[in-house]
């Protein structure tokens, strides 16, 4: 069954989980294509309010009767077969599609589909690319798994010939996409509740690269062992970017740091393409900028648009996001939830002019904490003060019997807090003027910093 046959004006689409970060933009895009869109979600919120203001009816709570006379259903990954709307659709013979299938079909309508994948850095790089394409006045359609200040949301419905999409490997969802330009930032072992091991992750990314047509481009990070392994023996040219290897197609030259912020030349095949001064720190963000600039170069944008676009980028929501101050300490929040992301965040933070790095870390999922336990222990030794909140379960049950207390027992001086309230209390006790306070994780740990700022 091909979802494309249903994406026609007048067809009625029901979106289960319509308030989600990539479902609400999908609703707007489908409505713009002339479909009659409706949906449901477990929670009311700003996204649902916006959709209702656009005339899209949204039911709160899931029930079979919400389907009405719809022609097909699109569901978010969090909605399973036992959901009453899904089982109700199956009973009535109404086709059910995954969110990624819908986005994939929509991509086919664009000349350029810039799809950005990787274990880390997807949201930031997709956001950087968005800034560049907006600076070039290309009027792109955008889908990001986070909030971007420039858009006041995580998406944008444009009328240009380019769609820019954050492309996630979890459950192989990016294999439903139709990239004309596929970016691979890095490939590491993650989502091990779905993938068997690193080799399985690499196979998935290889299949993602193979989706690119002959006329398209594969862009990848020469400095990342996983990306090199994924594309070993790839039968078509790969456009490589690198921080370290001047033989790569795109690299950084004359890299200089001022107050923790980098400026550098983007050199493509031996010629300076753009001079970039970033307003976000860290070597990882230089890499992200090279990836975004590589995509812009291959799609014919000017180096001047790259420079202007990147100069206005100040980070995506929950990506080293400044939240405020508490008694002379700066409070920032970050989504890092994998050892590689922690390393990038904490090494960048240590280069900034603060007296101490105070980190409140909330691990995300039992399976990830268990599988990458030793790597987490190593990275969590980097901050000066470490407070560990209990693991955020997300979609999982604790069948592995793992706890943040286990991490704390391996890290000298770490304090384990079984609840966020206790973590807030501990942070209040240790914080000093001149500290950089980081609340870190993909769950709800940001509430700890927000509670202090409110005081």
Per-residue pLDDT tens for 152-163? 877 888 999 999
State phi, psi for 22 to the nearest 5 degrees: -110, 5
What share of the chain has pLDDT > 70, as a percent? 100
Q: What integer pLDDT is reported at residue 202 of this predicted model?
A: 96
d(CA 162, CA 155): 13
Domains in the chain, CATH or no CATH each: 3-99 (3.40.50.720), 110-311 (3.40.1190.10), 321-454 (3.90.190.20)
106, 129 in Cβ contact below 8 A? no
Q: What is the pLDDT of residue 272?
A: 98
The DSSP annotation for 329-390 comes to EEEEEE---SHHHHHHHHHHHHTSS-SEEEEEE--B-HHHHHHTHHHHHHHTTSSSEEEEEP
Cα four-point dihedral sign 27, 32, 37, 38: positive
Report how far residue 305's alpha carbon sits from residue 227's, in angstroms, rounded to the nearest whole number.
28
Catalytic residue positions, numbered: 122-123, 166
Q: What are the residues whose beta carbons fall under 8 Å from the beta carbon of 313, sequence distance 6 or more?
A: 127, 128, 131, 150, 278, 279, 280
Nearest to 116 by CA among 188, 171, 197, 180: 180
Q: Which of 185, 189, 181 is nearest to 209 (CA)?
A: 181
Q: What pLDDT is attached to residue 126?
A: 97
The model's confidence at residue 77, banded by pLDDT at 50, 70 and 90, is confident
Nearest CA to 150 among 159, 161, 140, 160?
140
Instruction: Check residue 348 and give its pLDDT.
Output: 92
Nearest to 331 by CA among 413, 430, 446: 446
Q: Which tens digits make up the pLDDT trace of 112-154? A: 999 999 999 999 999 999 999 999 999 999 998 777 889 887 7
Average pLDDT, the chain: 94
Local confidence band at 191 (pLDDT 50, 70, 90 cut-offs): confident
Q: Is residue 318 predicted with pLDDT exceeding 80?
A: no
pLDDT for 244-255, tens place per residue? 898 999 999 999
- The strand ranges marked E within 79-140 are 96-98, 112-117
Strand partners for 324: 331
Q: Which two tokens stand for residue 165?
A: 């999409």
Element (H, E) at 173: none
B/e letters for 108-144, b = 16+ CB within 10 Å, e = fewer, are: eebebbbbbbbbbbbbbbbbbbbbbbbbbebebbbbb
Task: Please write the tens of the pLDDT for every residue from 170-183.
Answer: 888 999 999 999 99
Give the C-alpha separation, 51 to 53, whole Å. 5
Question: Can you give the pLDDT at residue 259?
Answer: 81
Q: Which residues make Cβ contacts (< 8 Å) with residue 218, sequence separation at least 6?
A: 181, 182, 184, 209, 212, 231, 234, 236, 237, 238, 239
pTM (2 d.p.): 0.83
Tell me the per-residue pLDDT of 330-346, one tens digit each, with 9 for 90 and over. Answer: 999 999 999 999 999 99
Per 3-state DSSP, what percentage of the chain is helix, strand, and coil (rounded to 5)? 35, 25, 40
Measured between alpha carbons, how far is 285 from 411 in angstroms, rounded to an integer? 28
Per residue in 371-395, is it b (16+ CB within 10 Å) or e — as a string?
A: bbeebbbebbebbebbbbbbbbeee
**What pLDDT, on the 0 to 100 scale, is given for residue 455?**
85
Q: Using pLDDT thresholds of 50, 70 and 90, give the confidence band for residue 184.
A: very high
């Amino acid at each position: 069954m091909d979802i494309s046959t249903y994406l026609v004006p007048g067809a009625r689409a029901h979106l289960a989980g319509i308030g989600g970060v990539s479902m609400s933009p999908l609703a707007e895009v489908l409505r713009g294509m002339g479909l009659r869109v409706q949906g449901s979600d477990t929670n009311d919120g700003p996204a649902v309010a916006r959709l209702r203001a656009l005339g899209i009816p949204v039911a709160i709570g899931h029930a079979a009767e919400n389907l009405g006379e719809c022609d097909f259903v699109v569901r978010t990954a969090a909605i399973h077969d036992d959901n009453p709307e899904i089982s109700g659709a199956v009973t009535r013979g109404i086709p059910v599609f995954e969110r990624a299938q819908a986005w994939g079909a929509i991509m086919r309508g664009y000349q350029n589909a810039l799809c950005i994948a990787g274990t880390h850095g997807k949201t930031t790089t997709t956001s950087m690319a968005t800034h560049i394409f907006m600076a070039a006045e290309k009027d792109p359609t955008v889908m990001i798994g986070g909030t971007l200040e420039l858009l006041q949301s995580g998406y944008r419905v444009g009328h240009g010939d380019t769609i820019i999409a954050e492309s996630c490997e979890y459950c192989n969802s990016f294999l439903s996409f139709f990239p004309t330009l596929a970016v691979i930032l890095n490939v590491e072992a993650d989502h091990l509740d779905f993938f068997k091991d690193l080799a399985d992750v690499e196979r998935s990314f290889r299949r993602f690269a193979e989706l690119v047509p002959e006329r398209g481009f594969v862009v990848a990070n020469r400095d990342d062992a996983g990306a090199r392994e994924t594309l070993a023996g790839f039968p078509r040219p790969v456009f490589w970017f690198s921080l370290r290897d001047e033989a790569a197609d795109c690299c950084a030259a004359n890299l200089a740091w001022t107050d923790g912020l980098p400026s550098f030349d983007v050199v493509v095949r031996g010629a300076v393409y753009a001079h970039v001064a970033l307003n976000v720190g860290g070597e990882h963000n230089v890499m992200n900028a090279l990836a975004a600039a590589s995509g812009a170069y291959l799609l014919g944008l000017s180096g001047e648009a790259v420079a202007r676009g990147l100069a206005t980028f100040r980070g995506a929501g929950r990506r080293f996001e400044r939240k405020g101050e508490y008694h002379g300490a700066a409070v920032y929040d970050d989504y890092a939830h994998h050892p590689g992301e922690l390393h990038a965040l904490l090494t960048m933070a240590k280069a900034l002019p603060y007296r101490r790095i105070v980190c409140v870390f909330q691990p995300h999922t039992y399976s990830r904490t268990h599988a990458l336990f030793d790597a987490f222990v190593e990275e969590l030794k980097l901050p000066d003060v470490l407070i560990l909140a209990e693991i955020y379960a997300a979609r999982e049950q604790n069948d592995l019997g793992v706890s943040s207390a286990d991490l704390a027992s391996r890290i000298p001086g770490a304090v384990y807090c079984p609840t966020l309230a206790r973590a807030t209390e501990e942070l209040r006790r240790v914080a000093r003027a001149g500290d950089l306070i980081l609340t870190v994780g993909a769950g709800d740990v940001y509430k700890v910093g927000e509670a202090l700022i409110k005081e």
